[in-house]
Structure formats: C-alpha cells, structure tokens
Chains A and B, each alone.
Chain A
Amino acid sequence: MIRGRAGVLVTCVLVSACASTNERVLDIGDQTQLQKRAYQSRTFATADKDKVLRAVISTLQDLGFVIDRADYTLGVVSATKLNVYQLKLTVSTRPRGKDQTLVRANAQFNVQPVEDPKPYQDFFASLEKSLFLTAHAGE
C-alpha cells in the first residue's frame, strides 16, 4: 500500500516537472502569440535594410548594450546589457511589402522574459529617433 502511494507520488512529481519544463521551453503564459507579437513589433516606412539594422545597432549602443552578434542576411542583432542585472535583447527585421520594414524585439531580464509592453514602447521610441522615422503598430 505504502509502496503504491510512493509510486503515485513519484509519478506526480515527474509529471509536474515535465509540464513545467515544457512551459519554460514554450514560454506558456497568460499572453497569446498574437498579443506578444503586437507589442514586440513595429513597422517603419523604409525598405532600406542596411539603414534599419545600423539604426538598431546604434540605438542598442546608445542604451548601453554590447552587441553580441549581428547577421545582415538574417536581419538579426543580439545584444546584452550588464548593470549588476543582465538584460538580453534580440531584434529581428524583415521586409514588409515593397516599402516597409517590420522590426521585432524580444527581451530577457535575468531569468525572466520581459512581458510588459512599456519597455518595448520605449525601445521603439528610441529607435524612431535614430531612424528619423515614425514607428507604426506591427504585424
């Protein structure tokens, strides 16, 4: 009897651990995929990939980030800011139609994803200044 109970307990622990790993990998939270995309993305009225990527890099440097890697072909830049805390950001760009570029950012603060829309709004406001272009709601 006791053995059976212990077995159930172990199974429960194992199952719950498994679910929690999946939750972490897939970042299952309260927000839907669309909600995240909405606040993490903006479109800019330019098709100049070079200009947008260089503006992203220069905005990140303005904000005190070290650029970890950049890839022109993929249109992706990753950067880290260390200030006792660790803040990691990946910014991707892709063409949208003939004369627009979609910019998307996702951030990680220490061991947490940044899921508050406000920091992203601030980031895109800073990017606007560097690009001399107005950001429009993404996706």
Chain B
Amino acid sequence: MARLAAFITLVATAGCVTLPPDTFVLTPELLKQRQIETRKYSGIEEKELLIACSNVLQDLGFNLENSEVRLGVLTASKQRDAIQGHEVALAIALALLGGGATPISKDQTIRISLVVRPVRLSDGSPSQKEHFVRITVQRIVRRTDNSVIARGLNDPELFRQFFERVSKSVFLEAQNI
C-alpha cells in the first residue's frame, strides 16, 4: 500500500495538466466499455457469487485490500515485475549506439475493483438469483528512472478470460468444491 501511495504521488506530481473537460460525461465509448466489463450470472445468490469472485481474485494472486459485502464491492491489488524482453533489447541497442541509459519498465501494481449488483426486476425490486459482475482494472508501471505510467486497462480479451474463470468458480462453488 505504501508503495502504491509512493507511485501515486509520483504520478500526481508529474503533470501540470488540467482536468479533461468531459471526464464525468457518459459517452457511447464508455457505455461500450461497460458491456465488455460486465457479465450476468444466474442461479446464484449475491453472497455466494461474491465469495466465488473473491476466490478467483485469489487464484490470480491478488491481495484483498477492501471489501463491503453489503454493497457487493471487492478491491484487490498485486505487485509484479514488469520487465519486457523487447524493451531490454532496445535499451541495450541504444546504449551500444551511445544513447546512454534508457529507462525501461521495472515493476507494476495492478488494481482491480469487482462489483456484484443484482439485476433489477420489472417492478424495480432486486433479483435474488440474477446478478451482474463488473470489474474495472488499472495498471501502474514504474520504470528504472522511477517515472510512473498509470492507466486503466480495456482489452476485451482480458475481461473475457477473467469472466471465464468466474464462471468456473461459480460452478465449483455450486458443487461445493
């Protein structure tokens, strides 16, 4: 957590930019992203689904940071190295050409928030057995010169694979495995 705070501080002090004008406006792109980040699960109660999801996060090596079961919220994070072969090769090539030390990705923090919410029935009441699971993911990469690049992740394939694991976990939960 302290590491994350240090990362964030670096990010925060890095830019003298201003808030982009439409940051809080729901655009069609954002609504498309909602589809990618959400899956519906049927035949399972909210608490059981949340437990199945927290097991998936553990399967993926995340550490739980915060939770509020009453609102179906889980927040988790993990730190991993971020060294990439092609970056190293390029840095060596540039150094050989006399370009000096090129900063490369060193380590990364991946943060995820997972939210379970009941499907609303036609009368507006929450369903007991049908729920949406939605995740939002961020990646904060620290480079060898201690600069930081932080952004949200939106690759559809990442979400597809994640939800595949949730489906398996829901199945295992139902079978009590």
**Interface presence of A63 (CB below 8 A):** yes
CA distance in complex: A61, B14 (Å): 25
Give how many A residues have a beta carbon under 8 Å from the other chain's beta carbons: 40
Q: Are A122 and B22 in contact (CB under 8 A)?
A: yes
CA distance in complex: A50, B118 (Å): 11
Chain A 28-48 near chain B by CB (<8 Å), digits 1 or 0:
000000000000000000000
Q: How many contacts A-B (CB < 8 Å)? A: 122
Please give, as numbers and ranges, the residues of chain A lying within 8 Å of B96 by CB-CB distance: none
Q: Are A126 and B24 in contact (CB under 8 A)?
A: yes
Nearest CB on B from A23, distance (A): 18
Q: Are B151 and A66 in contact (CB under 8 A)?
A: no
Place the interface of chain B in its size category.
35 or more
Q: Are A110 and B12 in contact (CB under 8 A)?
A: yes
Q: Which of B13, B15, B17, B31 contacts A62 (CB 8 A)?
A: B31
The B interface is mostly helix, strand or loop, or mixed, namely mixed
Q: Are B12 and A61 in contact (CB under 8 A)?
A: no
Chain A interfacial positions (CB closer than 8 Å to B): 50, 53-54, 57-58, 61-72, 77, 79-87, 109-111, 114, 116, 118-120, 122-123, 125-126, 129
A-B contact pairs, 18 of them (CB 8 A): A57-B115, A57-B117, A61-B115, A62-B26, A65-B136, A67-B136, A69-B68, A72-B71, A80-B111, A80-B138, A81-B23, A82-B151, A85-B19, A86-B150, A109-B18, A110-B12, A122-B25, A123-B24
